[in-house]
Amino acid sequence: MSARRPLPRWADVALLPVLNLLLALIVFSIFVLLIGQDPIAALGIMINGAFGYGEGIGFTLHFATSFVFTGLCVAVAAHAGLFNIGGDGQAYVAGLGAIAVGLLLDQTSWLLVLPLSILASMIVGAAWAFIPGYLQAKRGSHVVITTIMFNFIASALMAYLLVYVLKPVGVQEPSTANVVNAGKIPQLRQFLPFFGNAPLNLTIVFAIAALFGVYFLLWRTKFGYALRTLGHNPTASTYAGISNSRMIIYVMMISGALAGMVAVNEVLGVQARIVIDVTAGYGFVGIAVALMGRNHPIGIGLAAVLFGALYQGGLDLQFYMPAITRDMIVVIQALVIMFTGAMEGLLRPGLETAFMLYFPEQKAEAQKRETVGTES
């Protein structure tokens, strides 16, 4: 039991994630070598696919838009000490709100559809997250368990609705009717040919706004203060007169609302309808994004772009290197999630030791941030 020596802040937020990412890529390279392909070339294709040309960038940012929402969804809950794993289900169900507005107002203007569909999907997402929030706050049912379960319920509910209720007559595939006019959120390629055929749409503006909004909410408002108090120390928040149960419900609803915005991006921005699994597991990627981004909007923005690049680069890799199948792409995504998310602390002890050995001046700085209150 020796004193913990934390890393300097820049190493914690920048160096460690980069090293974790490199580790994931190294392990991936081994897999690529094992199937007889050139890992350097593969990485080259991925990077070029994600950032090398307009359409690639457009796809990367489109994916990143969804990841920002799901990342923030996880982060807001995490700051209150809640682990919302239900982002995926919340986003999926929120699609109902988006498509309802899209279909109802299809003959009006996108200027009307965009804000109202965002509002509607936020409300539906919040409502879906309210239930686990309520159960946690009032009944003590652990939110991790209930949100996982609610993903399955969402999935089953949506499948039922798509197959039996919402599917227009004569359509073979389980899906809703299409929006055709104003219900489609304008894609940026309509104004900027640079983006080729990428589905990047105006929702990205709301993603950026959400990053700022969450920052403001958490660190610049009284509500955010109370939320973080609950997250750090629930006893202290009771002491401070904060209603923990009410706060848990509010936080879950905000979290669900953020996840709900994914639906606008995917349903009205790309598909123009709800299909089965329209959210494609983005809710789960949000967990990795939030972990890698240290639950901070800046980090989440960067991590979302990284995961967007992985998705888009992966698609290109699959296309140009047929030996690398769809499954291999899943492998690299999983590796990155594993190394930057679940095993995020893998290199930490070693890095801390290295810092102590090679940067004695950092030691002092790190020490300053270290707890001395344990002395008795």
Binding positions for other proteins, rule: CB under 8 A: 1-3, 5, 220-226, 228-229, 232-233, 235-236, 238-246, 363-364, 366-373, 375-376
Q: What's the CA gap between 63 and 38, in Å, rounded?
A: 27
Nearer to other proteins, 57 or 218 (CB): 218
DSSP 261-326: HHHIIIIIIIISS-BTTTTTTHHHHHHHHHHHTTT-HHHHHHHHHHHHHHHHHHHHHHHH-TTS-H
- Structure token pair of residue 38: 């050139």
The phi, psi pair for 275, rounded to 5°, reads -110, 170
- Distance CA(206)–CA(208), nearest Å, equals 5
CB closer to other proteins, 247 vs 261: 247
As measured in angstroms, the least distance from the Cβ of 224 to other proteins is 7
DSSP letter assigned to residue 246: H
Nearer to other proteins, 5 or 294 (CB): 5
Q: Which is nearer to other proteins, 168 or 345 (CB)?
A: 345
CB of residue 286 to other proteins, shortest distance in Å: 24
Using the 8-state DSSP alphabet, how is residue 80 labeled?
T
Residue number with CB closer to other proteins (48 or 362)? 362
Question: Given its phi and psi angles, is residue 241 left (phi above 0), alpha (psi -120 to 50 degrees) or beta?
Answer: left
Angle between helix 39-51 and helix 54-79 axes, rounded to 10 deg? 90
State the minimum distance, in angstroms, from the CB of residue 238 to other proteins: 5
Q: Indicate the residue among 37 and 362 with the shorter CB distance to other proteins.
A: 362
Residue (of 52, 21, 14) closest to 313 by Cα position = 52
How is residue 201 annotated by DSSP?
A: B
Token pair recorded at residue 208: 């950026």
Which tokens is 358 given?
């090679």
**Cβ-based nearer residue to other proteins, 51 or 223:** 223
